Amino acid sequence: MNANKSYGFGTRSIHAGHNKDAYGALCTPVYRTSTFEFKSCQHGADIFAGKELGFAYSRTGNPTVAEVEAKLANLEGGEAAIATASGMGAITAAIWTLIKAGDRIVADQTLYGCTFEFLSRHLPQLGVDVVFIDCSDEAQLKAALTDNTRIVYLETPANPNLKITDIRKVAGIVHGFKPEIKVICDNTFCSPFVQRPLELGADIVVHSATKYINGHGDLLAGFIITDADTINEMRVKGIKDMTGAMMQADEAALVIRGLKTLPLRMRQHCASAMEIAKFLESSDKIEKVFYPGLESFEGHEVAASQMDHFGGMLSFIVKGGRAAASRLCDSLELCTLAVSLGDAETLIEHPASMTHSTYTAEELREAGIDEGLVRLSVGLEDTEDLIDDFRQALEKI
């Protein structure tokens, strides 16, 4: 790529970060090695001291992994990135690097179940003060900020009810109170094709790249994207010394392959999700549909202001509660009953008993997660086939 030219997202998803090897390989080689040979003792010492760029051990860097890191940084608009072994690897490595006992984290109350478990159950045991609020409520956010606040953490759209938070507004309030506080946004539900939180004022973006970024359901991966200095600190503390959650070269090569089709896949995911959301909203057996693209959705206007598209995720509540929701899920023939999201296959799940089972009943209510809520990751099948599948399943309720 010509560094002096401005390329579109699709072009960058293919070419950004690519380094031609000595043999002219079109596809990125997989450097399946744990360690790297030094030219001399001084060469090794200089790499460890940070005086010279290079690779020493694959827990801190690998040529295949470095390429996918450069690609994600480019697509998200960040200076640098770290590729991790999973989404939770990214989240924990980022947070561990930034906090110490006595610090405060302000987190939105609607989060992925494992993130909520980490923040609500585990960090407080180590002396970290974690408070959960509705980050879209300006008064709650302002009241929660204190001198010892280090991180404000949110998802938008949030998992699983697609709750929208205005990233610009949150970042403005937080940085106005104390510029050093890091706003971390989980962008998994969107991918950088749909939304880029750094452009909206967030400081750090995290991803479960297991989902849309890879797109094929065949690996676990994660990313942290932010400024170069913070990434360097996280690579040493959060990855090398604390979690060891480094992405492997084989997974990096697969993510690179998946990214080449990210724009094509996301356009289809988004288009199908909109049609299915409209169909479900028209059904007299559905109580409510949660999808940012619907004008009836509470966060529609904010979503339209900060998202380029409305994504491939939606949720809905079936009339009749949890029993009716289970009946619907069990009656689907084409949609797959499974957790995760962002795959070619359409995946459906029941958050209260699956991905968000870490929440108590009271916590579910506070987070706005109905026990009858169903979460749908719309895949790449023909849209009309998916609608027909829902039509026949709804008739069985």
What residues are labeled active site? 59, 112, 186, 211
Relative to beta strand 182-186, strand 204-208 is parallel
Structure token digits, residue 101: 């006992």
Q: For CA atoms 31, 35, 37, 43, give the dihedral sign.
A: positive
Cα–Cα distances (Å) from 395 to 296, 320, 324, 333, 388, in that order, read 25, 14, 11, 13, 11
Reduce the secondary structure of the chain to three states and give it as a string. CCCCCCCCHHHHHHHCCCCCCCCCCCCCCCCCCCECCCCCHHHHHHHHCCCCCCCCECCCCCHHHHHHHHHHHHHHCCCEEEEECCHHHHHHHHHHHHCCCCCEEEEECCCCHHHHHHHHHHHHHHCCEEEEECCCCHHHHHHHCCCCEEEEEEECCCCCCCCCCCHHHHHHHHHHHCCCCEEEEECCCCCCCCCCHHHHCCCEEEEECCCCCCCCCCCCCEEEEECHHHHHHHHHHHHHHHHCCECCHHHHHHHHHHHCCHHHHHHHHHHHHHHHHHHHHHCCCEEEEECCCCCCCCCHHHHHHHCCCCCCEEEEEECCHHHHHHHHHHHCCCCEECCCCCCCCCEEECHHHCCCCCCCHHHHHHCCCCCCEEEEECCCCCHHHHHHHHHHHHCCC
- Buried b / exposed e over 320-334, threshold 16 CB at 10 Å, is eebebbbebbebbeb
Cis peptide before 351 (omega within 30 of 0): no
Whole-angstrom distance, CA of residue 180 vs CA of residue 182: 6
